[in-house]
Amino acid sequence: MENETIKKIADFLVEAEKEKKEVPRITAEYPDLSVEEAYAIQEELVNIRLGQGHRMIGPKMGLTSHAKMKQLNVDEPIYGYIFDYMVTDENVLHVNELIHPKVEAEIAFILSSDLEGPDVTTEDVLASTEYVVPALEVIDSRYQNFQFTLPDVIADNASSSRVFFGSVMKKPDEMELDLVGVTLAINGELRDLGASAAVLDHPANSVAMLANMLSRKGKKLKAGQVILTGGITGAQLLSQGDLVSAKWDGLGTVEFKVE
């Protein structure tokens, strides 16, 4: 794929996010789009955001649960990036800024030292983790009807849109990180629940895999980055007026209102 085409598609996706308009998937026009090319588009999109003055908070993993991988018929998770404009201190999601947002409950890792693949292990991750915090990720695919193939969603920065972090921070050795129970309720009604082992058997495995995937591109995870490890619960569609409330065993509650 030509550099010019990569740039054009990245601009197209940035524009869709700005205009809050769902667009046809990239593979409708470029059916042979490869995973490699899709990451090149994502990298261009990241450069556009950095060029606009946005700060990167850290990378995120997606499709880390067996349920999601099966749904998309893939055997490897994907990654994308979270930027400062996706995170706010107020507990409000402004739905008019988005297309068709969904919410999912996750665990985020904050690193105390860099992690560089290709042979990063789960133990390495735990030794390099300063804290874990609970997070509600709001994903908002720019594609029509939230439907895409694997290369499409990679190009679209893994549907990244907004994140709400909780205020409880725990050291990784303070809890059994694969046994964190989570409930996700909307308007007081339980919508989904899960245990953190849904994420690649242990969320630290997700960070290890991410470090190893990034090393293929000559990149590493850096101290201070906040890393989302992937949805423990399924993603739930949001509507104006919704009150979202999620609870993590040992990590407290995160809530926001959809306005």
| Residues contributing to the site for ligand OOG (CB under 6 A) | 62-64, 68, 104, 137, 139, 141, 153, 158-159, 230-231, 235
Sequence-separated (6 or more) residues with CB below 8 Å from residue 74: 63, 150
Tokens 């809890």 found at: 175
Binding partner of residue 198 among Mg ion, ligand OOG, none, CB cut-off 5 to 8 Å per kind: none
Helices (H) and strands (E) in the chain, counts: 7, 12
Q: Supply 101's token pair.
A: 């947002």
Q: At its nearest, how many Å lie between ligand OOG and the CB of residue 146?
A: 7
Of 58, 52, 95, nearest to 79 by C-alpha is 58
Q: Supply 68's token pair.
A: 């999601």
**How far is residue 123's CA from residue 209's CA, in Å, rounded to a whole number?**
12
Binding partner of residue 108 among ligand OOG, Mg ion, none, CB cut-off 5 to 8 Å per kind: none
Pick between residue 139 and residue 204 the one whose CB is nearest to ligand OOG: 139
Pick between residue 30 and residue 109 the one whose CB is nearest to Mg ion: 109
Pick between residue 44 and residue 137 the one whose CB is nearest to Mg ion: 137
Cis peptide before 118 (omega within 30 of 0): yes
Pick between residue 151 and residue 230 the one whose CB is nearest to Mg ion: 230
Tell which one of 59, 194, 231, 234 touches Mg ion (CB under 5 A): 231
Pick between residue 25 and residue 68 the one whose CB is nearest to ligand OOG: 68
Q: Which residue is nearest to ligand OOG (CB)?
A: 62
CB-based contact 135:160 (threshold 8 Å): no
Binding partner of residue 141 among ligand OOG, Mg ion, none, CB cut-off 5 to 8 Å per kind: ligand OOG
Among 9-17, 123-131, 146-154, 223-231, which window interacts with Mg ion (CB under 5 A)? 223-231
Draw the binding track, 123-162, toward Mg ion (x: CB under 5 A; -: no contact).
--------------x-------------------------
**How far is residue 207's CA from residue 187's CA, in Å, rounded to a whole number?**
32
CB-based contact 233:104 (threshold 8 Å): yes
The reply to whether 194 sits near Mg ion by the rule CB under 5 A is no
Please report the DSSP string for 46-105 in residue order: HHHHHHTTPPEEEEEEES-BHHHHHHHT-SS-EEEEEEGGGB-SSSEE-GGG-SS-EEEE
SS3 state at 123: helix
Pick between residue 6 and residue 225 the one whose CB is nearest to Mg ion: 225
Binding partner of residue 68 among Mg ion, ligand OOG, none, CB cut-off 5 to 8 Å per kind: ligand OOG
Q: At its nearest, how many Å lie between Mg ion and the CB of residue 48?
A: 21
Binding partner of residue 37 among Mg ion, ligand OOG, none, CB cut-off 5 to 8 Å per kind: none
Interacting residue ranges for Mg ion, rule: CB under 5 A: 137, 231
